[in-house]
Structure 1
């Protein structure tokens, strides 16, 4: 836990502390889930407490994750989030009374056509790349596929790169999270998800106020958001991907996973 925003992080390329005024007036937080809010697949207690504090202060938190729709549905009613966007921008869950409204980035016809290509690609991965396995949460996926590399199955860097190449050969967008290689068809992404949710929830465009939204992540698939958001933050376990990162966040926390997210939350609250 921190007492002031300047203690939030150390910039990797230069040991420069965050200006306490940099988080003044932050409107909300976009965040990854796995290994950012969670540890070992479960909501990390420091992150749980931080989410509750942010909600109480009226600071919306929107999660954008590679996890599937089926995985996210039971969590939205428990975690204090303004919305969850699953499958890297493919499908959104928006609180609606005691339940959630499910909305898609693509039409039903597009999803049906894409499902055939996604299934064929998944079969090719398993057939041509020995040792690969689909993510155990694959049954809950509706707009993408995921190959496990660190959650239950261990793949080395060369194998992960081979999965990415194969997905790209099949015309998929492929990204690597802290646990999975995700592949999907279409132009959606974590950035389009952030734009979609700001428009959907609040009727506003992200571009004019992107400097007032923080983004928190932990892996190479967060690089687009690190580049887009001036207040981008990596939790400390991001360093695991140092060799693969081409775009670093502006800041990195002292703590890992939920403890790092809690640092961001306290900095945002202090800045308000």
Structure 2
């Protein structure tokens, strides 16, 4: 891993897709800056497809996909892809693609039932209270108690769930997918882009453990500066690291990509 400023000239010239984590990668301490929003817009204006890939719940992702300068949002760690569409021509339409096909009520009920079991098994565990509209995942709030958070992960896995941790939540889901599998499916099915092509044309930025599959697979990867807090737990570090944290680091990445595109 090297500082982004050390990249060879033209390294990002072939980038056509920018996928990025959202919480504490586009935001910083929970806030989205004007500079970060502008960077998203500039990437789109340059003809680059911009897709956040986030653990955030469906309620947030619906709003982002409709109103942000992005082409769609992969949400709940891969449970769905909300793709921006023209709808009736007013620019507000979305096409919703779920990992399990049509939204699976049975899957959500299984997650609720397992969540109730974990609440009884792990003393002090609390479901995330930020947003009630989750459609494909189970989220527990992180409270800084590493032992309790690990106990939640262990309980999820014992109940047959996939599990991971990001900077806000302990997450569980059903289906065996992750950010990488969901990104590969979205690119293949909706952008006619196979994995070999994506390895050359996709850039990704992130900051936490649930970004590990993306860091391990893609060539053009950046960790914003706070990635140092979990580097020791990543199987593979991102290729580059920014100077700034959160959105400031993403702006550095966007500017580097745009500069290389202009050459």
Instruction: State whether TM-score is above 0.5.
Output: yes
The whole-number CA distance in structure 1 between the counterparts of 2:93 and 2:188 is 21
Superposition deviation, residue 9 in structure 1: 5.2
* Gaps in structure 2 of 5+ consecutive residues: 87-91
- The residue number in structure 2 matching 1:270 is 259
CA deviations on 1:99-118 (whole Å, 9 max, x unpaired) are: 21211110348x23322321
- The residue number in structure 1 matching 2:121 is 128
Which one of the candidate residues 41, 50, 55 is aligned to 1:52?
Answer: 41
Which one of the candidate residues 121, 125, 145 is aligned to 2:138?
Answer: 145
| RMSD of aligned alpha carbons | 1.9
CA deviations on 1:78-117 (whole Å, 9 max, x unpaired) are: 21111101111111111112221211110348x2332232
Could you tell me whether the CA contact under 8 Å between 2:16 and 2:47 is conserved in 1?
Answer: no
TM-score by length of 2: 0.91
The whole-number CA distance in structure 2 between the counterparts of 1:46 and 1:178 is 22
Superposition deviation, residue 27 in structure 1: 1.2
CA deviations on 1:107-144 (whole Å, 9 max, x unpaired) are: 348x2332232112211221121222111245211111
Summarize the alignment of residues 1-272 of structure 1 with structure 2, pairs less than 5 Å apart.
10=3, 17-97=6-86, 98-108=92-102, 111-137=104-130, 139-149=132-142, 154-272=143-261
Could you tell me whether the CA contact under 8 Å between 2:15 and 2:257 is conserved in 1?
Answer: yes
What is the SS of the residue equivalent to 1:22?
coil
CA deviations on 1:27-71 (whole Å, 9 max, x unpaired) are: 121111100111233323221111011111111111111111112
The whole-number CA distance in structure 2 between the counterparts of 1:77 and 1:21 is 32
TM-score by length of 1: 0.88
The whole-number CA distance in structure 2 between the counterparts of 1:83 and 1:112 is 23
What is the SS of the residue equivalent to 1:188?
coil
- Report how many aligned residue pairs link the two structures: 256
Superposition deviation, residue 187 in structure 1: 2.2
* Gaps in structure 1 of 5+ consecutive residues: 1-7
Could you tell me whether the CA contact under 8 Å between 2:2 and 2:239 is conserved in 1?
Answer: no
Summarize the Cα distance change of 1:200–1:41 in structure 2 as closer, same or farther, 3 Å threshold: farther
